[in-house]
Amino acid sequence: MKLFIALLLFLTTLLHATKINEVANIVGVRDNQLIGYSLVVGLKKTGDGTTSKFTLQTISNMLRAMNINMNPIDIKSKNVAAVVVTAKLKPFAREGDKFDVTVSSIGDAKSLEGGTLLMTPLKGVDGNIYAVAQGAVSIGGKNEKGVAHESHPTAGKVYNGGLVEREINIDLYHQNYVLLSLKEENFKNAVAIQKAINSYYATQVAVAIDPRTVKLQRPKNKTMIEFLAEVQNIDMYYSTKPKIVINERTGTIVAGVDIEVKPIVLTHGEITIKIKEQNQPQRPAGSMVVDKDMVIGLNENELYTKKGTTTVANLVRSLQKLGATPKDIISILESMKSAGSIAADLEVI
């Protein structure tokens, strides 16, 4: 597996300029999850077999609704698959709006390619039906050789297959107060949003009530819609926490170039690296030398930078030179985080 190291060029100690809508959401304005159960028909003998009893029962129930009595044990078709249909209903979606739905097999079907999803009621968490879905199932595009992808043939999309039947009412117009929710809790950023909004309106219309929430009061001369439109586009300065993002499936590591690693000796398999601190740095940043002294029975590879310590970026490059695999590097970073050698947050996706 090839490792891609993406280095984000930012200084973790600096403030960043952005608009409020990039760091905070309006409480109550969100997607709503929908789910349904149905059948995909028209498959070419790639549907559920006789071991999927619920599929046969569903077919029998559907035929009975059409005045055709059929015992489930007499149904031998392999052109049908039982599926779960999921979707997200966008905020302010109106009756008649269309949206995409995801179709996933729950039986032993081999592929949903070429199938058609039958009309499916989609319910919310409250059990009410908010939409219906129906249409041709697409399991993906083609690769560079023109061959259809077969990595997930038992899941697909029905593009514009969902149709809104019931609206979810979000009444912002008549509200005098609304809450902003920061995407990440941070006392400093909550106060920064409060100050930016109050400075823009030259009055106290915003107050931070916790590190994730800012309460807004609508000015008397504006509607709530006008007020929120302006608030979302107000510029502010926010502070960010250093973070390392690791994708274990692809081996991708994303880290800021200035995330420092504290002096430590680490051993992983046949690899041992000693991160040394220099009082009077003489070696170039990111350089690596082999120390002939023996530590834990192995040669030490020493890392240096001009600041007297090293960074995650330098460490990863050095590990690659030593032949470490992506799995090795991920394990090392996770262990160093646990040992307190890396101060940045570690997020594994």
Q: At 252, give phi and psi (nearest 5°).
A: -85, 135
Residue 185 carries which side chain, given as an amino acid letter?
A: E
Q: Is the pLDDT of residue 320 over 80?
A: no
- CA 253 from chain centre, in angstroms, equals 15
CATH topology of domain 15-29+171-239: Gyrase A; domain 2 (3.30.1360)
Find the mean pLDDT for residues 1-16.
Answer: 41
Cβ atoms 31, 91 nearer than 8 A = yes
The whole-chain average pLDDT of the chain stands at 81
- Structural domain boundaries of the chain? 15-29+171-239, 32-164, 243-348
Distance of alpha carbon 240 from alpha carbon 109, whole angstroms = 47
Query: Against a cut of 0.85, is the pTM above it?
Result: no
Distance of alpha carbon 309 from alpha carbon 286, whole angstroms = 9
pLDDT class of 158 with cuts at 50, 70, 90 = very high
Tokens for 17, please give them.
């300029």
Distance of alpha carbon 64 from alpha carbon 1, whole angstroms = 52
Distance of alpha carbon 174 from alpha carbon 19, whole angstroms = 25
DSSP structural state of residue 145:
T
Find the mean pLDDT for residues 13-22.
Answer: 74
pLDDT class of 297 with cuts at 50, 70, 90 = very low
For the segment 121-154, what is each residue's pLDDT rounded down to a tens digit? 999 999 999 999 999 999 875 444 444 444 578 9
Q: Which residues contact 338 (CB under 8 A, 6 or more apart)?
A: none
